[in-house]
Amino acid sequence: MPKYGMVIDLQKCVGCGACALACKTENNTQDRAKGQTFNWADFIYKAEGKFPNVKFTAMPVLCNHCTDAACVKACPVTPKAMHKHENGMTIHNMERCIGCRQCQRACPYSSEDVDKSKAAYSVISFNDFSDEVHPFYRDKKEVVAGCTASGAEIAQKAGDIPPHRTLYKHSDYASVRVAGKVEKCMFCEHRVLNGEQPYCVASCPAGARIFGDLNDPNSEVSKALKAHKAVQLANNKGELLKPGEKGTQPNVYYIRGFKVTAKKA
């Protein structure tokens, strides 16, 4: 059995956001609203210092598919809605989820409300009980009054919500979520099972994302981890796990972090 993980090369990553957009199209996630990001692939952006001594970091973030996943431990239903697959992925079963948000509370990389907690991101987002998903494509108001179409009109012409919906099938999750359930990155298991790479990996123009089997010493991820000193995130504030610290045993690694310093003239 493989144990899937990801390595992100920070020196290759240009912070372009292609992965985040790719994920939104592949997984048909809705727009950020009411403290929920709905970004399965997201970023920690940090600007520090004072000109000209500034440092800007863009760190791609996603579900860490933790080995000791806090979300899974917290899920109260049986069999767990948030559960581990043998291949190491943390997968959410939509059928069994009751929307109690215990997973969101427990995951160190998630916040119940990113606006209130001022968190950079949240791995798990929640679809409110009383809101329909993709409100933008249900709204009949023209985007620019008297000039453009409305979201609802586009969806109707395209015949789906969202109009660009990627149709895929998976035994645990649907390609579009419903009200009253959480959602998060699934490592694109629906693609991986077909021998494809997760869509964020496939669309990164810089080749900064490496995905593969951490158990296989010859896989690209294992080679990268051998060649470089890797770090793991400890939470969604951008703090890293200290050497020896295990946390929830995240399976997303970052290599080749860097610091840019202005050259003294």
Partner 1 sequence: MLQGKIINTMSNTADAIAVDQSRCLRMRFNKSTCSECIKHCRFDAVRIDECIDIKRDACSECMLCVSVCPSGCFDAKATDFYSLISRLKKAVNSVSSPVLGCNERVDLKAHERTVCFGFLSEDHIIALSVFMEGRLQINLTGCADCRNGFIVDTLKKRIGNIAKNTSLNVFEKICLVEDGSELYYQDISYDRRGFFKAIKNLTFLHASEFFENDEVMAPQSYSAKKIPIKRDLLNRVISYKKGDNTALLENYYYTVDINEDCNNCFACIGMCPTGALKIETAGDGRELSFNTSLCIGCGLCEGFCINNAISIEKGFRGHNPFEFA
Q: Using CB under 8 A as the criterion, which residues of the chain lie in contact with partner 1 when the complex forms? A: 76-79, 81, 95-102, 112, 128-130, 180-181
Helices within the chain (DSSP H only): 18-26, 70-74, 102-106, 114-117, 151-158, 189-192, 199-203, 220-227
- CB nearer ligand SF4, residue 107 or residue 161: 107
- Listing DSSP states for 70-105 in one string gives HHHHH--SSS-SEEE-TTS-EEE-TTT-----HHHH
Kindly state whether residue 176 participates in binding ligand SF4, applying the rule CB under 6 A: no
Structure tokens at 207: 């080749």
Instruction: Tell me, by CB under 6 A, how many residues bind ligand SF4.
Output: 29
Structure tokens at 59: 């760190």
Nearer to partner 1, 78 or 194 (CB): 78
Using the rule CB under 6 A, which residue among 23, 37, 92, 173 binds ligand SF4? 92
Q: Which is nearer to partner 1, 181 or 209 (CB)?
A: 181
Q: Does the protein bind ligand SF4 through residue 41 (CB under 6 A)? A: no
- 165 contributes a contact to ligand SF4 by CB under 6 A: no
Give the nearer residue to partner 1 in terms of CB position, either 23 or 69.
69
Burial 8-17 (b: 16+ CB within 10 A, else e): bbbeebeeee
Q: Is 97 among the residues that bind ligand SF4 (CB under 6 A)?
A: yes
264 is written with which tokens?
Answer: 């003294």
DSSP-derived pairing of the beta strands 182-183 and 125-126: antiparallel
With binding defined as CB under 6 A, does residue 182 bind ligand SF4? yes
Q: Which stretch binds ligand SF4 (CB under 6 A): 8-16, 50-58, 98-106, 256-264?
A: 98-106
Which residue, 32 or 223, has its beta carbon nearer to ligand SF4?
Answer: 32
- Coil, helix or strand for 136? helix
C-beta separation of 70 from 63 below 8 A = no
Q: Which residues of the chain form contacts with ligand SF4 (CB under 6 A)?
A: 63-66, 69-71, 74-75, 77, 81-82, 90, 92, 97-103, 107, 109-110, 123-124, 182, 184, 248
